[in-house]
């Protein structure tokens, strides 16, 4: 295989945390219990008082080196909180644990803790899958409202192969990255954008499959679970605690399926729906994006922000102008990615950050791109990397056809005016990649699982949790859902109430009441 060496905290890491968003953290306790999840739920016979084995303190550590200030500088996070310590490390994994493909891969990890964090506290492993770098998600938590969680125990983020600061994958030309990222907007003429992206997908797929051969099938969620298992072995512990966010739930569920005996705690935050095809997963995400934009607009109006009395209409006008070339090389896809990335930031938003982003959008409407450019650059680069493309496509089951994408472009463009049309075109990004086979079902897993979610999640949407709890129940697990009534992603990074539920569960293995609601 041909690999290029990743620099410390590669650019993917440096752009995945943007200026904050969300309704802000709430340290109030849960004030309500909603109706427990029902759709897809399965009753189990697991004893309610069964306590799983506790995660353990590593007996053999990675070769950590302190990286707090470089991380915050690269991410534009400002000054680190007093007492925060970020440590970075690499460790070696097998390309294929089953032995079908030889060779090793270099995975990256980052540990976040405070100088007051107990040294005998077992770490919590974090994976955010292919939708964002795990290490950047952790850095955003550390920069925001995660002090209580990190003061109680370390959190160790593991990047997927080719994402963040893990060993890089470099298989695309700049032209192909641009076509995929901008949805071929500037290939003007008679070519439909769906067809243009489908063609770019074919070219990108050929390039990356050739580059990765014979390891092209080792970038899926199941192999990412193997990489976490290698970390457990290197730590020389029998049980770990695992927290997933977004599409990282696919990694976590695969870990439970393959190595469930080694799981002491499992938290699924804003999990991706199980059993849906690419169209279904995408529509859930678009619904979450529209809901998050609505929530942002309400805050914006309350603050008398510069977007006026109807921020969604102002944003839609900007997207339409970008789509017609009104902002030069700033495409509609890049602008929508920027807005969605802001809404899904893992850091907490305060009122100044909301008005700052609104002002940047307003300036764009006047033709001034200066203020929005840093936001665009961070988000565009975040998704325009080869590792993200390879990982995302490796997990893409049942992709859409160009005909279906064109139909949805019309339907979603009306139903979801800001995000729908670009989401339909984006269905073609992985259309040429060999379709991934669905992961085998989770056959047996009888431990308690904590599931978190938000009311307006722009990364995975808010309606996929029932399919996850249903799959867990069918395997014999007990699951409890905690729902944050705010907007943003992931839930635990925004809600003090959700963090308390996580901390309690990590400590004693007991689940909160199913359907617990955390206020915004």
- Give buried/exposed letters for 215-238 (b at 16+ CB in 10 A, else e): bbbbbbbbbbbbbbbbbbebbebe
Q: Which of 260, 422, 296 is nearest to 21 (CA)?
A: 296
Query: What would the two tokens of residue 259 be?
Result: 């190595």
Can you give the pTM of this predicted structure?
0.89
**Which residues are within 8 A (CB) of 391 and not within 5 positions of it... i.e. 6 or more apart?**
129, 130, 160, 161, 162, 163, 219, 220, 224
CB 438 within 8 A of CB 396: no
Q: Please name the residue ranges forming H helices in 236-350.
A: 248-259, 278-302, 311-323, 332-343
CB-hemisphere CA count at 13 Å for 491? 36
Query: What would the two tokens of residue 412 be?
Result: 């979603």
Residue 284 to residue 29: CA distance in whole angstroms: 28
Instruction: Tell the residue number behind the tokens 């690999």, with chain if given.
Output: 3
> Residue 345: its pLDDT value, please?
82
Residue 486 to residue 147: CA distance in whole angstroms: 20
Measured CA distances, 236 to 70, 156, 229 (Å): 29, 15, 11
DSSP symbols for 506-517: HHH-----TTEE
CB 25 within 8 A of CB 494: yes
> Residue 46: its pLDDT value, please?
43
> Residue 49: its pLDDT value, please?
52
CB 133 within 8 A of CB 348: no
Which helix (H) or strand (E) element contains residue 466? helix 465-474
CB 509 within 8 A of CB 52: yes
482 beta partners: 452, 516
Residue 183 to residue 196: CA distance in whole angstroms: 7
- The three-state secondary structure class of 452 is strand
pLDDT in tens, the chain (520 residues): 433 333 333 333 333 333 333 333 333 333 333 344 444 444 444 455 568 899 999 999 999 999 999 999 887 788 999 999 999 999 999 999 999 999 999 999 999 999 999 999 999 999 997 878 899 889 988 988 778 889 999 999 999 999 988 999 999 998 998 888 887 665 555 578 999 999 999 999 999 999 999 999 999 999 999 999 999 999 999 999 999 999 999 999 999 999 999 999 999 999 999 989 999 999 999 999 999 999 999 999 999 999 999 999 999 999 999 999 999 989 999 999 999 999 988 766 778 889 999 999 999 999 999 999 999 887 766 666 899 999 999 999 889 999 999 999 999 999 999 999 999 999 999 999 998 888 888 999 999 999 999 989 999 987 789 999 999 999 999 999 999 998 999 998 888 899 999 999 999 999 999 999 999 8
> Residue 179: its pLDDT value, please?
87
> Residue 105: its pLDDT value, please?
94
Residue 517 to residue 229: CA distance in whole angstroms: 33
- The three-state secondary structure class of 110 is strand
- The three-state secondary structure class of 150 is helix
DSSP symbols for 474-500: HTT-EEEEEEEEEESS-STTT-HHHHH
> Residue 136: its pLDDT value, please?
87
């Amino acid at each position: 295989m041909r690999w290029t060496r990743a620099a410390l905290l590669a650019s993917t890491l440096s752009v995945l945390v943007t200026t904050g968003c969300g309704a802000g953290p709430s340290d109030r306790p849960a004030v309500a219990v909603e109706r427990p999840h029902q759709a897809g739920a399965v009753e189990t016979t697991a004893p309610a008082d069964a306590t799983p084995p506790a995660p353990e303190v590593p007996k053999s550590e990675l070769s950590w080196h302190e990286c707090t200030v470089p991380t915050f500088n690269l991410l534009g996070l400002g000054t680190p909180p007093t007492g925060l310590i970020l440590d970075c490390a690499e460790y070696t994994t097998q390309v294929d644990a089953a032995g079908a493909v030889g060779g090793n891969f270099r995975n990256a990890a980052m540990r976040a803790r405070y100088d007051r964090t107990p040294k005998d506290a077992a770490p919590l492993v974090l994976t955010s899958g292919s939708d964002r770098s795990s290490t950047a998600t952790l850095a955003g938590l550390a920069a925001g409202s995660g002090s209580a969680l990190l003061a109680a125990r370390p959190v160790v983020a593991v990047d997927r192969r080719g994402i963040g600061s893990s060993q890089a994958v470099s298989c695309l030309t700049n032209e192909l990255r641009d076509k995929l990222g901008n949805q071929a907007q500037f290939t003007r003429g008679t070519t439909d954008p769906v067809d243009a992206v489908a063609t770019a997908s074919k070219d990108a797929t050929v390039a990356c499959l050739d580059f990765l051969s014979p390891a092209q099938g080792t970038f899926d969620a199941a192999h990412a679970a193997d990489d976490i298992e290698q970390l457990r072995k290197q730590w020389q512990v029998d049980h770990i605690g695992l927290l997933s966010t977004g599409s990282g739930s696919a990694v976590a569920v695969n870990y439970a399926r393959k190595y469930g005996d080694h799981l002491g705690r499992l938290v699924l935050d804003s999990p991706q729906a199980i059993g849906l095809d690419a169209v279904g997963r995408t529509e859930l995400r678009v619904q979450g994006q529209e809901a998050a934009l609505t929530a942002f607009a309400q805050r914006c109006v309350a603050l008398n922000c510069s977007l006026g009395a109807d921020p969604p209409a102002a944003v839609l006008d900007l997207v339409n102008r970008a789509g017609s070339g009104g902002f030069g090389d700033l495409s509609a896809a890049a602008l929508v990615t920027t807005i969605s990335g802001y809404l899904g930031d893992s850091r907490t938003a305060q009122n100044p950050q909301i008005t700052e982003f609104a002002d940047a959008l307003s300036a764009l409407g006047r033709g001034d791109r200066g203020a929005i450019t840093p936001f665009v650059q961070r988000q565009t680069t975040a998704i325009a990397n080869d590792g993200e493309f390879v990982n995302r496509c490796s997990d893409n089951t049942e992709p859409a056809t160009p005909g279906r994408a064109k139909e949805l472009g019309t339907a979603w463009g009306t139903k979801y005016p800001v995000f729908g049309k670009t989401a339909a075109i984006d269905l073609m990004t992985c259309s040429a990649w060999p379709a991934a086979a669905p992961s085998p079902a989770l056959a047996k897993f009888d431990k308690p699982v904590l599931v978190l979610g938000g009311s307006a999640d722009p990364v995975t949407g808010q309606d996929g949790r029932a399919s996850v709890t249903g799959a867990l129940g069918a395997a014999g697990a007990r699951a409890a859902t905690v729902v944050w009534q705010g907007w943003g992603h992931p839930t635990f990074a925004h809600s003090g109430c959700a963090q308390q539920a996580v901390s309690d569960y990590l400590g004693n293995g007991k689940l909160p009441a199913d359907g617990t609601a955390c206020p915004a």
